Amino acid sequence: MSMKRFGVSVPTDLLERFDELVEKKGYVGRSEALRDAMRSYITQTEWESEQGGKHAALNIVYRHKPSLMANLIESQHSARAHVTSTVHVHLTETHCLEILTIRGDREDIQALADEIGGLSGIEYVRLFPFALLDDTEEHSHRH
């Protein structure tokens, strides 16, 4: 297996927390822990993309900034997927959690999640896609 080096810039507090986990889990160093984290992220993303379905919940954590709030709203309004509800929670004085309920084609839902995840200031984003039987399919299964 060939290896490739690359540099990563991360906030100091995030690196300190990562290093604590590296030590706690007994990794020899950051590299193997980062490889495991990357594998996990890839596996989760692939699993999510395989889910059929027209619905999803998107959890977002970010540091409160008016410019980011404006970008979040613009992303939602310009998306092809339809945001049916939002819940905004003040976690701390500086951090907010927003939960979006989304309906649309899987590709459009994923595109919205990717766009929001790429906004500057977003610290955590997680998409939970799911499928529901529509009324006619559900009704036909009862007979």
Domain residue ranges in the chain: 12-47, 52-130
| Topology of the domain covering 52-130 | Alpha-Beta Plaits (3.30.70)
Helices (H), the chain: 12-24, 30-50, 66-78, 106-117, 135-141
Q: What is the pLDDT of residues 105-138, one digit of tens each?
A: 888 999 999 999 999 999 999 998 877 655 334 4
CB contact at 8 A, 87 and 98: yes
Please give the angle made by the CA atoms of 81, 49 and 38, to the nearest 5 degrees: 125
Q: What is the pLDDT of residues 50-97, one digit of tens each?
A: 666 688 899 999 999 989 999 999 999 999 999 999 999 999 999 999
Could you tell me the two tokens for 130? 């799911």
Q: What is the pLDDT of residues 4-56, one digit of tens each?
A: 999 999 999 999 999 999 999 999 889 999 998 888 887 677 666 666 668 88
Q: Which residues contact 60 (CB under 8 A, 6 or more apart)?
A: 72, 97, 98, 99, 100, 116, 122, 124, 125
